[in-house]
Amino acid sequence: MLDRLAMKCHGAVLLLVLAAAIGAQDEQPDGAPVNGRELTPAQIQEQLDRVKAGILPKVMSEKVAGSEELKKKWLADWRAIPSPHYLVFSDGPVTCKKYAETLEKLYAAVKKELPFVDVDHLLTAFIFADPEEYYRFAVAITGYSPAGARATAGHATGAYYATYYESPSAPVVFHEATHQIVSACLKVPGVGSWFQEGVAVYFEKKTAGEKPAGVAKSDVKRGDYYPLDEFFDIPVLLSDPKGNGHRNYAHAGALLDFMINTKVEPVAGKFGDFLAAARQGRGFGRGKDVSTALIKSVYGLSVAEFEAAWKKHLGLAK
């Protein structure tokens, strides 16, 4: 996981690298515009060649980089796997095509529940054959520390999704790929860590057939949770200095389940309005003040009143 705040620091550089390395094909040879999601085999090969020239040299091991023969063989293993909404670059096993199927399943699930207009290009994904390649990518391209990279199994921005080959249906695939959709398609990369991780946990659980609310109800009932005015103020949920990172993720997922599905007024049916309000200014604003203002403008509630509505949704109203 790479939180949106951390991504903002490296986003401009990353986008330039990807733009140079991948570069969407905007026109056919005769000059007629084309849909960026309907690439010809030649255009797909061109994008793969750009990845090989611009991205992959930053990812290959020293051993591979030091041998022209090994470099040629390693680059030859890379292929591009297109699907209706994704272009997956991978040097993993042939079963990597199942990642494209997984991503399409998630894409359809998010779009059905939170309708959005398709972007005019394929979403980029990198599936590395082994963890070491992924870690080098995270350090060289995204700006992680080596230790920070090794603490992740995948991460995403609006520009790309990246992980290493394991299971195409692993929870981390759905979680991190949701981050990409929220930023690239819903166009809301901000609000706060609680929101970003909450949406990702929500769809991670939904696609696994689990209840997004999870254990949150019992935690809140016991008082084992952060009041929302504190919760909204946590910059990175997983890096909570009090060690409540995983609990925070579960509570964020439950909170988004409330916002999306509750029948409790005046929150019911207004999540689309919340997204629209968060999208203003391209949705980069984040933090407690941003969250408080959004809740007030969309629902007409203070944070305390919003929290009371959440508890009512959980069946914990006094």
Separation in Å, CA 141 to CA 7, 53, 59, 100, 317: 11, 14, 9, 22, 47
pLDDT of 25: 39
How would you write the pLDDT of the chain (318 residues) with one tens digit per residue?
Answer: 545 344 444 444 454 455 545 544 333 333 333 346 789 999 999 999 999 999 999 999 999 999 999 999 999 999 999 999 999 999 999 888 999 999 999 999 999 999 999 999 999 999 999 999 999 999 999 889 999 999 999 999 999 999 999 989 889 899 999 999 999 999 999 999 999 999 999 999 999 888 888 789 999 999 999 999 999 999 999 888 899 989 999 999 999 999 999 999 999 999 999 999 999 855 567 889 999 999 999 999 999 999 999 999 999 976
pTM for the whole thing? 0.89
Distance of alpha carbon 260 from alpha carbon 272, whole angstroms:
9
DSSP symbols for 131-156: HHHHHHHIIIII---HHHHHT-SEEE
pLDDT of amino acid 281: 59
Which residue in the block uniquely carries the two structure tokens 């309000």?
277
Left, alpha or beta for 282 (phi > 0: left; psi -120 to 50: alpha)? left
Distance CA 190, CA 196 (A): 7
CB 168 within 8 A of CB 101: yes
